[in-house]
Amino acid sequence: MNSNFTRRRFLKTVVVSAGAVGASSLVGCGSENAGHSDSGGVSFSSVDEGAIFPQSVASGDPKSGSIILWTRLGTNSTSDQTVTVEVAADSSFSSIVAQTSLTSSSSSDHCLKVKVTDLNSATTYYYRFITSDTSSRTGRFKTAAKGNVDTPVKFGFISCQDYINGYYNTLLKFLEQDQLDSVDFIVHLGDYIYETTGDPSFQANVRPITFTDQDGALPLPNVTTPTHYAAQSLSNYRQLYKTVKGDSILQQVHEKFAFINIWDDHEFSDDSWQDNATYTDGVADEQNTTRKENSEQAFFEYTPIDIVPNTGGPEASGQISVDADNLYQSIISRQFRFGSNLNLMMSDFRTFRPDHVIPEDSYPGKVIIPELELGYTLISSFFAGALTACSADPATDAAADFIYDTVATLVGPITVNPAFDPTNPFALIDPVDIQSMVHDTLGPALNGSLVLQYVDIDDPTYAAYKAVMQGVVSQQYLAAGVAAADVAAKVALRITGRMAVDFINGTVVAAGNPVPLLADATFEYGMTYAQLGRDTSSVVSSNGIGSRYNVVKDTYDIYTLYLSTVAPVLHPLSTDPDYIDPNYDNAWGDAQQTSILINMSVSNATWNVLGSSTSFTSMVLDAKTNACTGVGSQLRQVLDGAGLGAAFPQAQIYLNVDQWDGFPIRRRILMDDPTGAIAANGLKTLKGADTIIISGDIHATFATDHGANASGNRAIEFTTPGVSSGNFATFVTGAVASIVDAATANDGVDAGDLAISESLTTNLTTFIEEGNPLITHNNNAVNGVAIVDVTSTTLTTTFHHLATGITPGVFAAQNPASDFYTNLVTSYYDSSATAYNADQTALAWTSKSFSVTKVDGKNGALTEL
């Protein structure tokens, strides 16, 4: 804990009862000399234009009888300031229902959060904050309907508003009159701020931010011309919120609608897990609890959220003090009810999730599944239905999938039977036969793609080879940027146990052949990190490639099945060097997972909606030739046509395993409960609860029908694109360019690699939908927002995109000297105007809607309207 956290800081929250206004109100005298005063309100001389309340006002977490209100005083004073808050039933404040005095403090950066209770349900209220002579702008919110009231609900959901990357033009959709009149609230699914101030790997730096506390910021590695920074100190994170909340369009959206917020990674650190960052790709230890606490402190100060940090419960009566030393791990998952039609459960993907399955600094040649255990895993895959067959009789089908044929031949007449325990299939077949299947058949045929031969480098027989590896790999870690003092420990951790012979020989050659190369047909075969797509050109991954991005689905699925089924049986003790933490994929944590499933299971609302910062939709590029038909995927045909077929692996590629694709077994459990463990506890799966998932993070639009279970219950997902972040197509183009470079000259991504990549990703939408047939629609080259209409019979989601080729900020950027962006909100919907931007061209929207209808109380199939 650094010195900045040795003292307590307090975030002040006051609960105001709407029924107590008569006893505690501060009513203005109403004299003519009092300046501006609405009937019953406090006197003030002017409405603030941004100097007194520079972030305007906001409301959040609307419930049937309560709301959280927020503002901040724009002062650097260290003394406390008095502010009055008023809530009224009308915009003229002639009917005030709650009023009290508050005290802002420098200890909370002069942020004020107020919980107002005893409000009427399904009612629109207006609120403002008043200093001695100035009122904030007026905000409004609508309380939720009570749970037994059948009433339509309409809400928006958004994600990924990168202030630095562009402007918030997409949010203008919520300021159209029909949305102003009908939207009840807005869900923000995370990445409200971005912690980096112009990371050149993904930020365009349209609106630069320079930290005032630059000494307290974190310099980004490998970005030195000029140096770019990530937030680290409390001052850094506060500055980001102050800046983002100063945006004129965002302020007006906050003034008009209550928000329900959760965080994703950028509120703390890109691709983070728990209190760990990933900037250095494993070069350095990036666990930083103090930094995580700073990020949470600023989040709770600047977000109108009805959560007591570290407990997860709602705010209680009276003034609440939040100790910054006791923030992490705060629980922000929570439930909302809007009438009889909508149960909304918000989840938290970042606070409890474990590290990525493939460590960024994993040694590519490390064997992760040895020979016999790989055989066990493939048999488990066979009985789980995870292996592909071309016909019911693979023995007579020459075109059948090779692995399926091989395993099917071994298991012979064994079929799934009621007594079969999928977690312990090993007693069914002689282990000698299982190992022979891998060693004699699969190993030689699939050497390189599925397996590599290996030896135990700790065996004294290979002591000289281990010494060579240690020397070479030490130099590789140093070249990758690992501190000299840390190299020995890292090498000791990574260069041990089973190592692939190809990698051992590679280091021998690099060292000048001090020992003979290894070669022996009796060496066993096993799967290494290299088979999962881990970059073999470096001892640390480059920008997460082969660790968090661009992972081979075929082998990754086998490995995660091994981690979930075989490893726990064979290596149950933590003292075993091959022990795997059974929580390796427990993204929600036990308590949150149980809470979510209970909520969905007992809900009697017409629609169960789950808010998730990251998408459950699998995003796969299929570069395979179909084993059964011999026909290549569309991407494979494009690759072959470009002369790159031989350079690209015959594989399916997970594009992003930082989201739920990284935990495919856990996702399947939550969706389908294959072992019946969820049902045994009297709970429903996400499919069983007919869940509608709303998600973000991936900077693309997806509408996905996850399918129905045996009872006909179905899960549907809608994923919103980013408000202003770079789109997914741009990311994929860059990622594919790195693959093109590795497959060709391997001299760094250049214009030629990007040109080839762009040609390959022209039909990215088609490729992604081919890789996952559950996707009904995707658009990966847009920014936008989503709006959901809920009734007792239908749920309709409409995506509103800025037209292809129009990116956030393009209008303001066309004439930076003008006040266009500032004036855009007031002029945009002027009925007498036909053009709203600096170059007299109209802001063009494209919209697409999808509907789900209840059939016998269950979700029907996803329909495009």
**How does pLDDT run across 777-821, given as a tens digit for each residue?**
999 888 899 999 999 999 999 999 976 544 554 444 433 333 444
Number of H helices, E strands in the chain: 23, 34
Please give the average per-residue pLDDT across 297-307, as a whole number.
91
CA 431 to chain centre: 41
List, in sequence order, every beta strand (DSSP E) within 680-734.
Answer: 691-695, 701-708, 714-719
DSSP 3-state assignment of 752? helix
Give the separation between CA 13 and CA 114, rounded to whole angstroms.
5
Q: What are phi and psi of 863, to 5 degrees?
A: -125, 130
634 pLDDT more than 80: yes
- DSSP H helices in 315-450: 371-383, 402-411, 431-436, 443-445
Does residue 413 surpass a pLDDT of 70? no
Pick from 787, 795, 731: nearest CA to 758: 731
Rg (Cα) of the chain, in Å, rounded? Answer: 29
Please tell me the pTM assigned to this model: 0.91
Tell me the average pLDDT across 115-140.
94
Which three-class secondary structure state does DSSP give residue 344?
strand
Lowest mean pLDDT among 262-266, 667-671, 802-806, 834-838: 834-838
Element (H, E) at 111: strand 111-117
Pick the more confident residue, 368 or 14.
368
Question: What is the structure's pLDDT at 63?
Answer: 96
Map tokens 């959560």 to a residue: 307
pLDDT at site 591: 92
* Residue of 428, 446, 474, 458 whose CA lies nearest to 578: 458
Count of CA atoms in the C-beta half-sphere (13 A) of 587: 28
Over residues 457-465, mean pLDDT: 97
Percent of the chain clearing pLDDT 70 (strictly above): 83
- Residue in the structure block whose two tokens are 């031989």: 646
Residue 434 pLDDT > 90: no
**What is the predicted pLDDT for the residue at 271?**
95
Q: Compute φ and ψ for 259, nearest 5 degrees.
A: -110, 150
How would you label 476-504 residue by residue, b for 16+ Cβ within 10 Å and e otherwise?
Answer: bbeebebeeeebeebbeebbbebbbbbbb
Q: Which of 206, 272, 258, 217 is nearest to 240 (CA)?
A: 217
Per-residue pLDDT tens over the stretch 550-563: 899 999 999 999 99
pLDDT tier, 731 (very low <50, low <70, confident <90, very high otherwise): confident
DSSP label at residue 674: T
| Cα 175 to Cα 121, 250, 828, distances in angstroms | 24, 10, 9
**What is the per-residue pLDDT for 740?**
72
647 pLDDT above the threshold of 70: yes
Q: Which residue has the tokens 């480059």?
A: 542
Mean pLDDT of 659-664: 97
Largest separation between any pair of C-alpha atoms in the chain? 100
pLDDT for residue 426: 60
Cα three-residue angle 326-332-333, rounded to 5 degrees = 145
Q: What mean pLDDT comes out for the span 452-464? A: 97
How many C-beta atoms lie closer than 10 Å to residue 768's C-beta?
26
Find tokens 């809007």 and name the residue. 338
Strand partners, 652: 622
Pick the most confident of 379-383, 458-462, 648-652.
Answer: 458-462
C-alpha closest to that of 618 among 673, 655, 644, 573:
655
How far apart CA 133 and CA 43 sit, in angstroms, is 7
- pLDDT score of 167: 83
Closest CA to 580 of 315, 369, 764, 274: 369
How far is C-alpha 263 from the geometric centre of its chain's CA atoms? 9
pLDDT digits (tens, 9 = 90+) for 343-367: 999 999 999 999 999 998 889 999 9
The beta strands (E) that lie in 131-201 are given as: 134-135, 139-142, 153-158, 185-188
The predicted structure's pLDDT at residue 224: 61
Measured CA to CA, the distance from residue 217 to residue 207 in angstroms comes to 18
- For residues 505 and 502, give the distance between their C-alpha atoms in angstroms, rounded to a whole number: 5
Say if residue 703's pLDDT is above 60. Answer: yes
Backbone φ/ψ region at 119: left (φ over 0), alpha (ψ -120 to 50), beta: beta
What pLDDT band is residue 312 in, cutting at 50, 70 and 90? low
Q: How far apart are CA 121 and CA 128, in angstroms?
A: 20
pLDDT in tens, 597-622: 999 999 999 999 999 999 999 999 89
Q: What is the pLDDT of residues 210-247, one digit of tens each?
A: 999 999 999 988 666 678 899 999 999 999 999 999 99
Q: What CATH class is the domain 1-143+275-307? A: mainly beta
* 406 three-state secondary structure: helix
Q: What's the 3-state SS for 572-635? A: CCCCCCCCCCCCCCCCCCHHHHHHHHHHHHHCCCCEEEEEECCCCCCCEEECCECCCCCCECHH
Distance separating alpha carbons of residues 767 and 635, to the nearest angstrom: 6
The HSE-up count of residue 211 (CA atoms within 13 Å, CB side) is 24
Asked if residue 40 lies in contact with residue 96, where contact means CB atoms within 8 angstroms, the answer is yes
Residue 30, pLDDT > 50, answer: no
What pLDDT is recorded for position 326? 66
Please report which confidence band the pLDDT of residue 317 belongs to, taking 50, 70 and 90 as the band edges. very low
Cα gap 531→541, rounded to integer Å: 14
**Phi and psi at residue 306, in whole multiples of 5°?**
-95, 65
Domain borders along the chain are 1-143+275-307, 367-570
> Where does the pLDDT of residue 16 fall: very low under 50, low under 70, confident under 90, or very high at 90 and above?
low
Those residues whose C-beta lies under 8 Å from the C-beta of residue 736, and which sit 6 or more positions away, are 757, 760, 761
pLDDT in tens, 163-214: 988 888 889 899 888 999 999 999 999 999 999 998 877 887 778 899 999 9
Looking only at the bridges linking them, the beta strands covering 342-346 and 607-612 are parallel
Tokens representing 290 are 């103090």
The secondary structure of residue 19, as a DSSP letter, is G
Cα–Cα distances in angstroms (integers) from residue 226 to residues 200, 223, 714, in the given order:
10, 7, 51
For the segment 80-102, the average pLDDT, to the nearest whole number, is 92
Question: What does pLDDT average to over the chain?
Answer: 84
Q: 426-430, 506-510, 621-625: which has the minimum mean pLDDT?
A: 426-430
Q: Are strands 452-456 and 524-528 parallel, antiparallel or unpaired?
A: antiparallel
